[in-house]
């Protein structure tokens, strides 16, 4: 099966009229530093019988990898030739998808139900960990506007606790974060980020100072300077005694 798959993919790539565009490597390196900025970028990295393979599509493929793969960090260190091969690899995936569509391949119903269930569970888990479940908001706020204000207040409070290391980081799965980005309007404020980092640094420094002050002092001084080396030719006995 492995040999058959390898042969099939090699033939598919050879007949796929694949071409990596000039400048694609530089674009991918830039992407590695800020993938969010390229999430909707339509710069063409390669073309094939499947059509145009854009930067946005590459971001989508890279997001299917587990976070611990640290693929973006790896891309920053990759030689140009390896990045070119990476582009070709994911452009080949597009050719495979095209073949699947041509063959009218359908997702198994049970697998599709499982995907929907996993997505719904991810939404509920994020709600619960952030303290914004619909039930908890309805108990404290009657109108939709009041519930939105309450949810925003709780999220702000969560961020404050997280920076103070009083609450764990809540990871939002990539499929969920992508859907949220597509469904709702949002913007990123660089000045706001800078201010947030500045305030977070103050809180961290204050917390570190408080922890240090609370620790008991050691009875033995640490870091005492070493005794001076004896002067060459001088007696090693005290005060001229022999």
Reported as a pLDDT band with limits 50, 70 and 90, residue 209 is confident
Pairwise CA distance, residues 224 & 36, whole Å: 51
Reported as a pLDDT band with limits 50, 70 and 90, residue 228 is low
| Residue 1 falls inside a structural domain | no
| Residue 215 falls inside a structural domain | no
Pairwise CA distance, residues 152 & 139, whole Å: 16
Least confident of 9-13, 182-186, 209-213: 209-213
Query: Which residue, of 49, 74, 102, is where some domain finishes?
Result: 102
Same domain, 149 and 187: yes
Q: What integer is the mean pLDDT of 134-145?
A: 90
- Cα 230 to its chain centre, rounded Å, is 58
Same domain, 11 and 94: yes
- Total number of domains in the chain: 2
pTM of whole model > 0.75?
no
Pairwise CA distance, residues 112 & 115, whole Å: 5
In this predicted structure, what is the pLDDT of residue 226? 53
Same domain, 85 and 25: yes
Q: What integer is the mean pLDDT of 102-126?
A: 94
| Residue 129 falls inside a structural domain | yes
Reported as a pLDDT band with limits 50, 70 and 90, residue 219 is low
Same domain, 140 and 94: no
Q: What digits encode the pLDDT tens for the residues 11-32?
A: 999 999 999 999 999 999 999 9
First to last CA, the chain: 90
Q: What digits encode the pLDDT tens for the residues 32-66?
A: 998 988 988 999 999 999 999 999 999 999 988 88
In this predicted structure, what is the pLDDT of residue 85? 95
In this predicted structure, what is the pLDDT of residue 241? 45
SS (H, E, C) 13-56: HHCCCCEECCCHHHHHHHHHHCHHHHCCCCCEEEEECCEEEEHH
Reported as a pLDDT band with limits 50, 70 and 90, residue 220 is low
Q: What integer is the mean pLDDT of 129-141?
A: 91
In this predicted structure, what is the pLDDT of residue 142? 87
Query: Which residue, of 37, 70, 102, is where some domain finishes?
Result: 102
| Residue 160 falls inside a structural domain | yes
Most confident of 43-52, 162-171, 233-242: 43-52
Q: Which domain, by its residues, includes 16?
A: 7-102
Percent of the chain with pLDDT over 70: 89
| Residue 232 falls inside a structural domain | no
Same domain, 122 and 178: yes
């Amino acid at each position: 099966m492995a040999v058959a798959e390898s042969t099939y993919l090699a033939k598919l790539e050879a007949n796929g009229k694949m071409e990596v565009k000039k400048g694609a490597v530089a674009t991918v390196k830039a992407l590695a530093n800020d993938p969010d900025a390229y999430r909707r970028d339509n710069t063409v990295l390669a073309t094939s019988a499947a059509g145009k393979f854009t930067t946005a599509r590459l971001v989508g493929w890279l997001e299917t990898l587990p976070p611990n793969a640290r693929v973006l960090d790896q891309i920053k260190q990759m030689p140009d030739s390896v990045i070119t091969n990476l582009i070709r690899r994911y452009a080949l995936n597009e050719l495979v998808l095209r073949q699947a569509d041509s063959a009218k391949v359908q997702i198994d119903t049970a697998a599709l139900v499982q995907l929907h269930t996993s997505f719904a569970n991810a939404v509920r888990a994020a709600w619960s960990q952030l303290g914004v479940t619909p039930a908890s908001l309805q108990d404290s706020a009657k109108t939709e506007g009041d519930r939105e204000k309450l949810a925003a207040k709780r999220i702000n409070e969560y961020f404050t606790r997280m920076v103070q290391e009083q609450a764990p980081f809540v990871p939002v799965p990539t499929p969920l974060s992508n859907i949220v980005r597509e469904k709702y309007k949002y913007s990123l404020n660089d000045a706001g980020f800078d201010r947030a980092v500045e305030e977070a640094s103050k809180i961290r420094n204050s917390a570190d100072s408080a922890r240090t002050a609370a620790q008991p002092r050691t009875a033995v001084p640490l870091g005492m300077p070493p005794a001076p080396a004896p002067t060459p030719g001088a007696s090693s006995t005290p005060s001229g005694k022999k």
